[in-house]
Amino acid sequence: MDGLRTVQMAAPMKQYRDAMKEMVASDLVDIMLMSLSSAEALVQEGIFENSNITPAVRLNDATDIWGYRGASYREKPSIAFNTAKIESALKYSRLGLYSITFYNDLDKDLKTLMPIPNFESQSVIQKWTTS
């Protein structure tokens, strides 16, 4: 229809996880970065056993993923927030990613950095950085 956007649906989770399994089986990657829920599912399936691939967990996300209909979050600088508890992530991986985005704007960039000390103290308490 003229004037209407085409809505593209996200792929089913099974499709994403099947693609991850294929990448691990190909042995073409060194690290498989996943959400905590995917790490839990794939580690429990044993896909990393007898593999040189290191499972890794994404420990945070940003508000730019909030893309529901009518939302305007993607029009503004994203703000990071924790999405995985370190103690849960440690059950499936010894490697985690804490992602930040800089905007070349001092106030916004400082706001982006504010959660890091809390994250670091949690990671040390959970022995993420010492194991």
pLDDT (tens digit, 9 = 90+) per residue, 34-75?
999 999 999 999 999 999 999 999 988 877 777 777 888 778
Q: What are the structural domain ranges in the chain?
A: 13-125
pLDDT of 1 higher than 90: no
pLDDT of 7 higher than 70: no
Show the DSSP H helices in the chain as ranges. 13-26, 36-45, 86-89, 106-113, 116-125
Q: Which residues contact 130 (CB under 8 A, 6 or more apart)?
A: 124
Q: Among 7-11, 12-16, 20-24, 98-102, which range has the highest average pLDDT?
A: 20-24
For residue 87, name the pLDDT band (cuts at 50, 70, 90).
Answer: confident
Q: What are the tokens at 47?
A: 């896909």
Phi, psi of 82 (to 5 degrees): -70, 140
User: What is the per-residue pLDDT across 102-129, written as a single tens digit (0 to 9) for each?
Assistant: 889 899 888 888 877 777 777 666 665 5
